[in-house]
Structure 1
Amino acid sequence: MNCLIVDDNSIARSTLKQLLSLHEDLTLVAECADAIEATREMLNSPVDLLFLDIEMPGMSGIELARTLSNKDVLIIFTTFQRDYAAEAFDLNVVDFITKPIMPVRFLQALKKAKEIYKNKNLVFGKAEDDFVFIRDSNIVRRLKIDEILYLEAMGDYVKVYIKEKHYAIHSSLKSVEEKLPSSVFLRVHRSFIINISKIDTVEGGTLIINKNLVPVSDGYRANLNKRINIL
């Protein structure tokens, strides 16, 4: 992954630079002292992962992140202020690290970023019969519809759960829903779509699918009751 550090504090930049140097699969493209410099750098060099401070002179990290909302750049915020956490996650960032940055916390955030980066090119192809195609890096795989247990929206990503693993697709839940057969899948929550045939039990506002709890919101419960056959 190509990484860019953006922080007006030279000590913070040095810390991140040292932590990044421990990972051979990460390439530091540049380190910038402000958002304007970072914007220019990203015009000239491809960046996959951005380590972004929030409080900086001129354009803040939050403002820079908003300008990148439609771009394929993963963002990990770094800041001394916890108060920005809610606003930061509204921007669908990978993680939010408070300074001083500890190596263990850095690794946790990096692990999330690597998982998303690995799977970010997974996209649903057109649903045909009993399968859909997904693109995993340079390999196009066929995924049987019947293998899919449920799907969960996670910011700009959708996690597709099968029995023993999941894929993270860079897409909206609505877009994915449109490509799945409505005879098999049903939205039960603003963040969840289920494979109806995979429901094990229904209790109040919760479904159990393969030992996983899936919430059902009030607005979708009536439609769920119509779709399942209760003796």
Structure 2
Amino acid sequence: MISCYVIGELHTVESLCMYLNDYPLTQLKGYAVQRPESFDAVYSIRPDIVFVDVAFLNGSNGWLERIKQFSSIVLVSENTDMAFEAFEHSAFDYLLRPVTFNRFVKCIHKFDHLTQLAHSAHSTRKQHVVDSFFIKADSKGLKEFLIKCDQLIYIQAMQNYVVLHMENNQRFSCHNSMKEMEDSLPTSCFSRIHKSYIINDEKITAIEGNTVMLSGDESNKLLIGSTYRKAFFEKKAQKMIKKKVGIQILSYSRLAVALITFGEILIKVQAMGEFNIPFYI
């Protein structure tokens, strides 16, 4: 789940808050309809993305520099006049008002893609493989369960928690986000295939079109989301046994023998007078 905060004029806040609440990948953590006197709320929440109306970028922007230390910035404006300044502020996107839903989705997918790339680069530097981990499976966090990775089939996102589907029809739920689970699991063994699914690669028994079956169970047949499809199939291709096409190469001696034999056959055919085939040596 991508946590977001909105700082802007009323019409900007209204549209973005509606999109953030309706879109399954995002979570609205707060908003301000005018430039706050204090940004302590944003500093404490540390959202993944902060949408900022360019109307608030005047005078000292020390608060923005501090926010950029832990959040990505998206600037929102009614025209393109400050598009270049967006680069100066290291904003990763620039939205024009009125912000359409399709443009909002494109922005979120862009952030999600860049996050995955950064996570992938970070994961390749990891030298250890996680064999097991603990989760807090009750609301009070008093009871913890050890989850063994080789028994974990897949993880499913629900509303504000995730469900871990294990072997022998066991299930555990915990109040963690999919991003937290994804960051904690080794990419060498687990793959994010959908906004709602992380699967154990070792449990894959079949792939058909854009679906994957786990543990040979039809009930564990999951859809591969378009956002994650390319990365998943590229990873799968590394395990594919490729068919080698054999190419027969004639040595010079074998090639010479073949040409001489073919020439003799043509000469005999001409001598028999059955075919009028020109032959040149």
With normalisation by structure 2, the TM-score equals: 0.42
Which gives a bigger RCO, structure 1 or 2 (Cα 8 Å, sep 6+)? 1
Structure number, greater radius of gyration: 2
Between Structure 1 and Structure 2, the one with more helix by share is 2
